[in-house]
């Protein structure tokens, strides 16, 4: 896989600039830019150059992934689900989470897991607990989904006790001995018997109604010196060349999805806005690292092109899942109306002349060793 541009690399037309080597993302203060003497993070500040070669419309269907899975023993009542508009949804805390839990969605989540890994050069995270030799005793994976992140972290850290929680149980067959899954609603008071050294969250921007309350519970649930890490993105894609406009169905879909989440009480957040909330709660060394997920393999740089292939496949596989419950519950659309609208949205996804990407961020922060410690985060 080709190395990808750092935040200090500006990609100009006709240039395929990539750094030598494969640097590890470094911490970035959320308010100050990195100095010239400090290596920049592996991130995506510069514009992405469009490739001159033709792209095919069938790229998404060419992407496939084979993943291992695991399971936990859970009561039959918790395993129940509800059928709605041809998709199944969690029964526990019915309606709280907008997205389905059926096999089709689980396959997409497995694909998306690979997209996250590819973004981070196949690291499970950027926070210090992911570093080789780190001493991590207890780990909490919130919104564990199919459990792949928790499984892989448990395998990489056999000394750690890993707990994955979600409103739906992973439909899996094997678990490492140091991993277990539980059904839980993390917006309710936490009742875990012991604190964690590391809390990991991914893809929760439209699943939390009160981020201050959520971070407060996470802060209390961490050991002194423990870390929280998030990997989140925007609902709206962006284009540096203006090729995505309000006239496009994909733009209108993003607007409507944001409207739905507002109506349902779980709006998408502007991810950098989570930084001051983390600080207000008491976290220090708050670090934010930006990335871009191109939608489709339109980029010239090989790293972005590969990311774009996976991101396009993820969008095609996830579009109905992200839309159906949101639009029918919040906007009173019928299932048929949703499907007709998505025909136009998919046309935009296939449109090789739209050069758009999803802004993504990794944020991680530390609970002070001494809770009276002042903020010391620097670039």
Q: Report how far residue 71's alpha carbon sits from residue 69's, in angstroms, rounded to the nearest whole number.
A: 7
For position 105, what pLDDT does the model report? 79
Domains of the chain in sequence order? 60-366 (3.40.50.150)
Q: Report how far residue 234's alpha carbon sits from residue 379's, in angstroms, rounded to the nearest whole number.
A: 24
For position 290, what pLDDT does the model report? 97
Q: Report how far residue 297's alpha carbon sits from residue 309's, in angstroms, rounded to the nearest whole number.
A: 5
For position 207, what pLDDT does the model report? 82
pTM comes to 0.76
Task: Print pLDDT tens along the chain (379 aa).
Answer: 444 433 332 222 233 333 333 333 344 444 433 333 333 334 455 777 776 654 444 444 443 333 233 333 444 444 556 565 566 655 545 445 556 667 777 788 899 999 999 999 999 999 999 998 898 999 999 999 899 999 999 999 999 999 999 887 777 778 999 999 998 888 889 999 999 999 999 998 878 889 999 999 999 999 999 999 999 999 889 999 999 999 999 999 999 999 998 898 888 899 999 999 999 999 999 999 999 999 999 999 999 999 999 999 999 998 988 899 889 989 999 999 999 999 999 999 999 999 999 999 999 999 999 865 444 343 3
Whether 217 contacts 185, CB under 8 Å:
no
For position 174, what pLDDT does the model report? 85
Q: Report how far residue 274's alpha carbon sits from residue 280's, in angstroms, rounded to the nearest whole number.
A: 10
1 class by beta-carbon count within 10 Å (0-12 exposed, 13-18 middle, 19+ buried)? exposed
Do the strands 284-294 and 179-183 form a parallel or antiparallel pair, or are they unpaired?
Answer: unpaired
């Amino acid at each position: 896989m080709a190395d990808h541009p750092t935040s200090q690399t500006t990609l100009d037309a006709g240039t395929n600039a990539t750094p030598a080597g494969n640097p590890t993302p470094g911490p970035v203060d959320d308010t100050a830019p990195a100095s010239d003497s400090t290596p920049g993070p592996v991130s995506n500040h510069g514009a992405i150059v469009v490739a001159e070669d033709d792209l095919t419309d069938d790229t998404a269907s060419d992407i496939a992934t084979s993943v291992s899975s695991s399971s936990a023993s859970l009561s039959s009542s918790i395993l129940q689900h509800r059928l709605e508009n041809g998709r199944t949804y969690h029964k526990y805390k019915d309606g709280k989470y907008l997205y389905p839990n059926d096999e089709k969605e689980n396959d997409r989540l497995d694909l998306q897991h690979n997209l996250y890994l590819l973004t981070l050069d196949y690291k499970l995270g950027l926070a210090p607990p992911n570093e080789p030799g780190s001493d991590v005793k207890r780990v909490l994976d919130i919104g564990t989904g199919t459990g792949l992140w928790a499984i892989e972290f448990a395998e990489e850290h056999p000394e750690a006790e890993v707990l994955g929680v979600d409103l739906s149980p992973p439909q899996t067959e094997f678990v490492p001995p140091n991993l277990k899954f539980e059904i839980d609603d993390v917006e309710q008071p936490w009742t875990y018997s012991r604190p964690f050294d590391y809390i990991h969250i991914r893809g929760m921007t439209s699943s939390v109604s009160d981020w201050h309350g959520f971070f407060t519970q996470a802060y209390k649930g961490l050991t002194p010196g423990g870390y929280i890490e998030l990997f989140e993105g925007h609902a709206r894609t962006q284009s540096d060349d203006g090729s995505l406009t309000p006239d496009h169905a994909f733009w209108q879909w993003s607007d409507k999805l944001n409207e739905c989440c507002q109506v349902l009480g779980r709006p998408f957040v502007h991810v950098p806005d989570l930084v001051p909330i983390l600080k207000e709660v008491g976290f220090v060394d708050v670090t934010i690292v930006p990335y871009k997920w191109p939608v489709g393999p339109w980029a010239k740089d090989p790293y972005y092109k590969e990311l774009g292939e996976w991101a396009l496949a993820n969008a095609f596989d996830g579009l109905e899942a992200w839309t159906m419950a949101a639009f029918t519950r919040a906007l009173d659309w019928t299932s048929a109306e949703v499907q007709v609208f998505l025909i136009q949205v998919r046309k935009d996804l296939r449109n090789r002349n739209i050069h758009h990407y999803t802004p993504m961020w990794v944020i991680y922060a530390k609970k002070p060793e001494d809770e009276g410690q002042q903020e010391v985060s620097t670039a």
